[in-house]
Amino acid sequence: MKEILHVDMDAFFVSVEEVLDPSLKGKPVVVGGRATPAGNGAITPQTENTLTNPKKILASAPLARGVVSAASYAARKFGIHSAMPIARAKRLCPHAIFLRGSHRLYSEYSAKVFEILRSYSPLVEPMSLDEAFVDLTGCGKLHGPILKTAERIRNEIRDRLGLNASIGIATNKLMAKIASAYCKPNGMLWIAPGKEQQFLAPLPIKRIPGIGSKGCARLNRMSVKSVADLSRLPLELLEETYGKWGASLYRKARGISNSPVSAETEDPRSISRETTFATDSIDPLFLESTLSYLTEKTAAQLRSNGLFASTVALKLRYSDFKTVTRSQTLGWPTAADHTLLKTVTKLFRKLFNDKTQVRLIGVALSSLTAHPCRQEDLFDLKDGDRWDGLYQGIDRIREKYGFRSILRATSGNARK
């Protein structure tokens, strides 16, 4: 019988801030957003998606756009939740403490949490910075009974890092995830084998992962409000009505999941950067300059990890919140700024609608590999070596004097 844990950190970003500043405990705290940058949406350290700058309290600063990354439980009482626009959160709770946050800091604490989890099992599957599945099947002789082991993990995270975690325990990933959400905050819940459907039956359908507000509305129209209601629908009807999603709902309503816990790989699946502007922009030159800067950032991170990308993707979010993406696969993997920028710029020029203002722009590199597999012909072999030498030199300068010490001209225009 499988023994799976879902470890979910409670209000993780806020909790880290509280460890560093205990005076924040019990107060409405919101992580996300930033001070309004000067100029017409120019890129500053505050407008980058990965918040690498030190924490800055924004309670008295004018708030630009952006969304809530995390909210303390005291802030949630005012209706504030993740992904809510910062401006709305400010209206709901004007006296809340708004923190810009630090992705670097949260990543460091996340790494420490995962270090603890891996000391109990080699099968740890991170789902984000603040949650992971742990497969403890067969570890009983080493660690003892599953309930005591889960409690020991929770206590170790609290004692070593000062953070609270909620842990769900079940025979599969689906039920473990539902259990951890059910016992938040700072709880622990074990769903005994064979009791899955009994536990699920009275729960509202929104408790099932993958059923959002739109899914709830669709099911409510069929008089389905609880998991018990959903479990009474035949597979044929669900498949006919909802296709593959319907078949998935049939299994989830019965607590069935065969997805294994997969240990993480060392290399990232993708590298991306995006920025939300303080003021929507329709200026193609400014947008292309911003895209140039973000591409330089992603390419530099690619090279620092010793990786090469085969797929380039562009992301645009317009003022009406409509989000569109386009991607292109290259002939061979690369980490060269000029190749990546040429590709993403072409995508932008095909996609950009000069009648609709842009709120957010981003670039993502995926299909990553540690081998360039360059298919150069006789004429570009020498140039390829020269480009490699150029980027190695640029990376050395940036390592010594900072990333902004040397930029492409187009990237510099975005900062102006």
Q: How many domains does the chain have?
A: 4
Quick one: pLDDT at residue 44? 36
Tell whether 281 is covered by a domain: yes
Our answer to whether residue 266 is catalytic in this structure is no
Task: Look at residue 263 and tell me if it is in a domain.
Answer: no
Does residue 122 share a domain with residue 180? yes
Helix, strand, or coil here: 209? coil
Does 190 lie in the same domain as 238? Answer: no
Q: CA–CA separation, 244 vs 239, rounded Å?
A: 6
∠416-51-85 over CA atoms, to 5°? 90
Q: Same structural domain for residues 48 and 184?
A: no
Q: What is residue 45's predicted lDDT score, i.e. its pLDDT?
A: 34
Range of the domain at 147: 4-9+105-196
Query: Distance of alpha carbon 199 from its chain centroid, rounded?
Result: 30
> Is 207 in the same domain as 292?
no
> Quick one: 285 and 205 in the same domain?
no
Domain with 314 in it: what CATH number?
A: 3.30.1490.100
Q: Clarify whether residues 301 and 408 are in a common domain.
A: yes
In the set 17, 131, 196, 288, the catalytic residue is 131
Same structural domain, 274 and 411: yes
CATH number of the domain enclosing 54: 3.40.1170.60
Is residue 253 one of the residues assigned to a domain?
A: no
Using an 8 Å Cβ cutoff, are 240 and 102 in contact?
Answer: no
Decide which of 71, 103, 135 is a domain's last residue: 103
Which regions in the chain score pLDDT beneath 70?
33-65, 264-268, 371-388, 400-407, 409, 412-416
pTM over 0.85: no
CATH number, residue 163: 3.30.70.270
Residue 257 in domain = no
- End residue of a domain, out of 138, 170, 196: 196
Ramachandran region, residue 246 (left: φ > 0; alpha: ψ -120 to 50; beta: rest): alpha
248 in any annotated domain: no
